[in-house]
Chain A
Amino acid sequence: MRMLGVFEKGERIRHIGHLDIQRAVQRGLRRSGLPVAYSNGFNPHILVAFASALSTGACGLREIMDVTMAREVTETEFLTCMNRAMPPELRLQEARRVEDRHPALTASLKAAMYELRFRDAEQAEKLIAAIPVLMKRETVPAVRKTKSGLKECDIKPWIYALRGEGSVVYATMALTEREACKPPMLLEALRREAGIPEEEEVRLLVVRTSLLGENDAGVFIPLEKL
């Protein structure tokens, strides 16, 4: 069996990169005393996968780990043991037991919801005012980092929902291996529309609030519920 664990990456540790988060979770699993499964081979490691890597500098409210267990464990047991073993900045909120044949999270991941919390109210106002202009455009060119280098792309079809309120921009955007609009790409486009010059610093906190999959009816639902 496998256990899907929904966890938070807290604001204090937002500068910790994905590899370090992975290691922290693995050590947490070791401390928990839970019967986790190990890989075979010379350097056995815990079988744990993550739905999606979260960028350095961003925090996440509902990130998901996928842990293969060596024997049956209840969801409550998993939650209790993990929360005793994890630092406060990496709390688990929910656990869901799934069968071994449950599809891999990375394969089912379709999109993510973000909050871009701007530090400066005036800048936020300008950027939010640019949203309707951006959404009316046919195409929104952006540059995407891929394994083979920088690639030009159109992010317009990848922005599923976009609105602003106060000094926060709420966005739902595509997140698959082939199609992904990351918050910096969105910010770049918004800055352009709002006419904020390149040299002006825009400070913000990026929070990924949810990871989404698609149900049979073609509707986005939280990935861990799929």
Chain B
Amino acid sequence: MNMNDRIESLLEKVQKAPRYTGGEMNTQVKGWDEAPLHFVFCFPDTYEVGMSHLGMKILTGLINDQSWSLCERCFMPWVDMMEGMKAQQVPLFSLESRRPLKEFDVIGFTLMYEMSYSNVLAMLEMGGVPLERRDRGESDPIVVAGGGCASNPEPISDFIDAFMIGAGEEVMLELNRVILDRKEQGWTREECLKRLAQVEGVYVPSLYDAEYNEDGTLKSFRPNCPEAPARVMKRYVDNFDQAYFPTRTAVPYTEVVFDRITLEIMRGCTRGCRFCQAGMLYRPVRERSLETLVRQAEALVESTGYEEISLSSLSSGDYSCLPELIRELMRRMKDKRVSISLPSLRIDSVLKESLEETQQVKKSSLTFAPEAGTQRLRDVINKGVTEEDLIEKARDAFEGGWSSIKLYFMDGLPTETTEDLDGIADLAQKVVGEYFKVPKATRAKGLRVTVSCSTFVPKPHTPFQWAAQDTIPVINEKQEHLREVLKIKGVNFNWHAPHLSYLEACFSRGDRRIGRVLKRAYERGCILDGWSDQFKFDEWMAAFADCGLDPAFYANRVRAKDELFPWDFLDCGVTKAYLWREKEKSDRAEITRDCRQGCNGCGIQRFPGLCAYADPKRNQAPSPSLLPYEPAEKPEEDQAEGRNA
């Protein structure tokens, strides 16, 4: 049987064959010879998860729009398909042309979640690409990666040739151009990587060396050649309003996680929640104009036929003209029967009326995220939500005909005590109380308050990057306590065992050495870790033991103020000095104002014109110990100009 027959025969046997067949509406299929550069976008999770991902839509669209490059797609196969592929010797192939990954010039991974790293390894190996970058030869593809987790690339840096830091829309084409030049000029792999290192926002791990102290902490981290910059600057989208946004996106045949139009209305967030990595990484806040959004929405409705639009951002309620936007979208979409799903947090009364008029509100369930149970702890994490706010919104919702409310919390936050856990139950009880205050005749039937609790994972580039995660026994105890106190009529409690969060904590703040654990765990059969039926915690622990590394060193250790972190060489906009100030304020349960009320000097103000709320006067020199790689010879303005050039 030839390759295609073998694939066809496998597809007859697996569950959900459409995951592997492609051919969806709006998926561009360029002929292999129509473009000289061949890129395969790999999503290290299943088709259903990957096809819901906005970044993938943006980047595949962008690459395919260039006459000189084509972009195909590949997802992590499910276990049944993987086993069949191994048995039939079918390499992992792209959906469009069914070519093995190794035939592409560039393999690009998006790293959204640390616990998808084992899938990256599986996909590379199945695709016929040597796992470790040092084993790759001249004819092997260049393996690149970007996405949120690239903000600490070290744990997976043995397997990736080059990382893109920051906005993919900006750096993607520049990176591809270099790889195309290599193809045309015949540069060696090494030369190509050195040239990639000179693209702003690109980190090439082979060009850097790490040394460690006896206690296991990082001693030094520096480039080993002149081509690599000591500090890698994150890339920003200069003009977010006009930035590339695809208006013909793929419409999957089968149902995927987010099966609707996603309109990115805003990037960044001004609230400064201290646990939130996205809130720190995607600064500054930038909005798309109403005109642009309406135009994009109309084009997308026309090209996809979707019946629902959701507004996407870190905090859609903060979009400055949200009511106007929603009204305008509803006005234009009414005849087309397109519904707009709203950020549930901010439904003002005027909006509520217009919603009721058009009957477009599905009174399914409202979600609130107080994150912590007491005001003290909410101040520690700088979550600007008060109990009064929450109770008032719950009352509004119950009076408005909702009967189902979801409350999201975290357990294991820094400084958390039993009192804070009891506070969660207290809050849930008060929300239930609000429901019963609404007269029986007018309130909706079937009260359902769902309390969901996830385990806190300290993340790099946040004020909690110095913090320890609670150990698994401590989290278990806390969850047991929560189960007791949340035995309230009308309240459902959802929690997750902390094991996955523990590993997430290891890898989110891991160093280069932990890559060995990743490889070992993969060899021991760990893949699809994000799927609870596949997760093999004991194998992960065994892999740590095999490599002589202690997971607690990464997850449960309080880090010193002047510790050199593996991600310190990346400038992601927010300075380490600012993060330390925030950490100290957090220790005092002191809040930091929303950026819109005044600049807090997070570091973005170093780049003139980038942040609408920046105060350049806040541009004070950070203490040297906190910024070990600040190049002394270059004034910061120059750097910013270089970025714009």
Residues of chain A at the chain B interface (Cβ within 8 Å): 10, 12-13, 15-16, 20-21, 23-24, 26-31, 33, 38, 42, 44, 57, 85-89, 119, 203
Interface flags, B1-29, vs A, CB<8A=1, else 0 = 00001000101100001100111110000
Q: Tell me the minimal C-beta distance from A183 to chain B in angstroms.
A: 14
Q: Is there an interface contact between A30 and B307, defined as CB atoms closer than 8 Å?
A: yes
Q: Tell me the minimal C-beta distance from A192 to chain B in angstroms.
A: 21
Q: Is there an interface contact between B12 and A57, defined as CB atoms closer than 8 Å?
A: yes
Q: Is there an interface contact between A89 and B306, defined as CB atoms closer than 8 Å?
A: no
> Is B304 engaged at the interface, CB distance under 8 Å to the other chain?
yes
- CB neighbours (8 Å) of A10 from chain B are 23
> Is B359 engaged at the interface, CB distance under 8 Å to the other chain?
yes
Q: Is there an interface contact between A20 and B18, defined as CB atoms closer than 8 Å?
A: yes
> Is B433 engaged at the interface, CB distance under 8 Å to the other chain?
no
- CB neighbours (8 Å) of B302 from chain A are 31, 33
Q: Is there an interface contact between B251 and A27, defined as CB atoms closer than 8 Å?
A: yes
- Return the chain A residue nearest B337 by Cβ: A44
- CB neighbours (8 Å) of B21 from chain A are 12-13, 15
- Return the chain A residue nearest B302 by Cβ: A31
- Return the chain B residue nearest A13 by Cβ: B23
- Return the chain B residue nearest A29 by Cβ: B305
Q: Could you give 20 example pairs across A and B, Cβ below 8 Å?
A: A10-B23, A12-B21, A12-B22, A13-B23, A15-B18, A15-B21, A20-B18, A20-B255, A24-B253, A27-B25, A27-B251, A27-B307, A31-B305, A86-B25, A87-B23, A87-B24, A87-B25, A88-B23, A119-B5, A203-B12
Docked pose: A184 CA to B140 CA in angstroms: 45
Q: Is there an interface contact between A15 and B23, defined as CB atoms closer than 8 Å?
A: no
Question: Would you call the interface of chain B mostly helix, strand, loop, or mixed?
Answer: loop
Interface flags, B277-319, vs A, CB<8A=1, else 0 = 0000000000000000000000001111111000000000000
Q: Tell me the minimal C-beta distance from B7 to chain A in angstroms.
A: 12
What is the number of contacts between chain A and chain B, taking CB atoms within 8 Å? 59
Docked pose: A19 CA to B68 CA in angstroms: 38
Q: Determine which residue in B5, B17, B254, B305 has the highest number of CB atoms from chain A within 10 A of its CB, and name it.
A: B305
- CB neighbours (8 Å) of B24 from chain A are 87
> Is B336 engaged at the interface, CB distance under 8 Å to the other chain?
yes
Docked pose: A13 CA to B307 CA in angstroms: 22
Q: Tell me the minimal C-beta distance from B465 to chain A in angstroms.
A: 44
Q: Tell me the minimal C-beta distance from A193 to chain B in angstroms.
A: 23
- CB neighbours (8 Å) of B301 from chain A are 30
Q: Is there an interface contact between B305 and A28, defined as CB atoms closer than 8 Å?
A: yes
Q: Is there an interface contact between A42 and B359, defined as CB atoms closer than 8 Å?
A: yes
Q: Is there an interface contact between A27 and B306, defined as CB atoms closer than 8 Å?
A: yes
Q: Is there an interface contact between A30 and B12, defined as CB atoms closer than 8 Å?
A: no
- CB neighbours (8 Å) of A24 from chain B are 25, 251, 253
Q: Tell me the minimal C-beta distance from B396 to chain A in angstroms.
A: 22
Q: Is there an interface contact between A31 and B304, defined as CB atoms closer than 8 Å?
A: yes
19 additional contacts (CB under 8 A) given A13-B21, A16-B18, A30-B306: A10-B23, A12-B21, A12-B23, A13-B253, A15-B21, A16-B253, A20-B18, A24-B253, A27-B251, A27-B305, A27-B307, A28-B25, A28-B305, A30-B336, A31-B25, A42-B359, A85-B305, A87-B23, A88-B23
